[in-house]
Amino acid sequence: MDSKQEVHVRKVTGGVDTHKDLHVAAIVDEHNGVLGSEFFSTTRHGYKQMITWMRTFGTVERIGVECTGSYGAGLLRYLEPLGIEVLEVTAPDKTDRRKRGKNDTIDAENAAHAAFAGIRTVTPKTRDGLVESLRVLKVCRKTAVAARRIALQMIQMDIVSAPDALRESLRHMTRMQLIRTLAAWRPDITGYREVVIAYRIALKSLARRYLELHDEIADLDVMIAGIVRELAPDLISRNAVGYESAAQLLITAGDNPERLASEASFAALCGVSPIPASSGKVSRHRLNRGGDRAANSALHIIAIGRLRTDPRTKAYVKKRLTEGHSKLEAIRCLKRYIAREVYFLLKARTQKVNQLQATA
């Protein structure tokens, strides 16, 4: 067999250290030996050059990519139609980093080694469907809510320090009465050098900002609710599951929830799976402080809602309390059961969508 045929049949694994403007790619052979590394631009042409370069070493079996949710998102979308297995590489091994040091080339080689060995890797979210649209809208809503809260805080602070003539007329109003009153003011902007006029201008600006953000949030809520109803109508129909909680759980599962091997993996992803912490004759579990904390919060909200309205949940928590558990521990157990319920609902929905696509 000549060298050209040997290169053609060789199976190789790639690794990519992602950045804003340049990606660093490395390639390892079927014995995990480094064959080379190269820099490529973060454009479609750069992605094409990267794949062409990798294929000069042999058949690319899989590629490990860092940060597929941010800097590596474009590369992930480019690789998906090519049929190459893509793995997201998680945090590097700290011991190895202390020994070898750190630079972009070493990080790319470490990503290739991790993809080859199947360690520190997970199946990335595809980020090309309705769930990605939902995520973008929800992030936008979150920032709008934060900005609205800051605007309200600034209004309240300005009223506290405002001259008496302004403060006395405003301090006893409800929130929306105050906002609408301030937004309707027509101060003489040419008198901005006077303290009272400056306060009026500032309060009017903040009130209008609050109302604009309020309307923006309402519009985003309509869009988010529409996507959630389309993606998971069965989830919304369950007791104490609101649109915000359902949206967050859908985002955590992603557009490809089939990457989750079991309901236990989804529970771990949400940070509600108990971690074994036994030693010797002591057998116990500790709280899982990892996972997606936003998903954990969504499950907590659902659990609290059911604890107030669902007789079965009340009976379960009461049983746990009689067994000697604290109320907080009972709620943690309840969140684990809710995660299982959500997983099977999402799995059934995914199977239904796949069947519809297959028959289309």
Give the integer Cα–Cα distance in Å for 142 and 273. Answer: 27
Q: Read off the tokens for 358.
A: 């297959």
Give the integer Cα–Cα distance in Å for 329 and 94. Answer: 33
Give the integer Cα–Cα distance in Å for 152 and 175. Answer: 9
Mean pLDDT by 10 residues, the chain (360 residues): 57 96 96 96 97 96 94 94 93 76 91 94 90 96 98 96 90 92 95 95 97 98 96 95 97 91 94 88 82 96 96 95 91 95 91 66
Amino acid at 320: R
What is the CB neighbour count within 10 angstroms for residue 80? 14
Report domain extents, the chain.
3-122, 130-231, 234-348
Bridge partners (DSSP) of residue 11 are 59
3-state per-residue secondary structure call for the chain: CCHHHHHHHCEEEEEEECCCCEEEEEEECCCCCEEEEEEEECCHHHHHHHHHHHHCCCEEEEEEEECCCCCCHHHHHHHHHHCCEEEEECCCCHHHHHHHCCCHHHHHHHHHHHHHHCCCEECCCCCCCHHHHHHHHHHHHHHHHHHHHHHHHHHHHHHHHCCHHHHHHHCCCCHHHHHHHHHCCCCCHHHCCCHHHHHHHHHHHHHHHHHHHHHHHHHHHHHHHHHHHHHCHHHHCCCCCCHHHHHHHHHHHCCCHHHCCCHHHHHHHCCCCCEECCECCECCEECCCCCCHHHHHHHHHHHHHHHHHCHHHHHHHHHHHHCCCCHHHHHHHHHHHHHHHHHHHHHHHHHHHHHHHHHC
What pLDDT is recorded for position 311? Answer: 95
Question: Residue 291: left if φ>0, alpha if ψ -120 to 50, beta else—which one?
Answer: left
What pLDDT is recorded for position 354? Answer: 67
Give the integer Cα–Cα distance in Å for 241 and 262. Answer: 22
**For the chain, how far is it from start to end, CA to CA, in angstroms?**
47
What pLDDT is recorded for position 285? Answer: 78
Q: Give, in order, the Cα–Cα distances in Å from 355 to each of 126, 128, 349.
A: 19, 19, 10
Give the integer Cα–Cα distance in Å for 169 and 86. Answer: 63
Looking at CATH, the fold of the domain delimited by 3-122 is given as Nucleotidyltransferase; domain 5 (3.30.420)
Q: Which residue has the tokens 């062409």?
A: 52
What pLDDT is recorded for position 31? Answer: 94
Pairing mode of beta strands 275-276, 59-66: unpaired
91 Cβ partners below 8 Å, 6+ apart? Answer: 120
Q: For residues 186, 189, 191 and 195, what is the CA-based torsion angle, rounded to 10 degrees?
A: 70
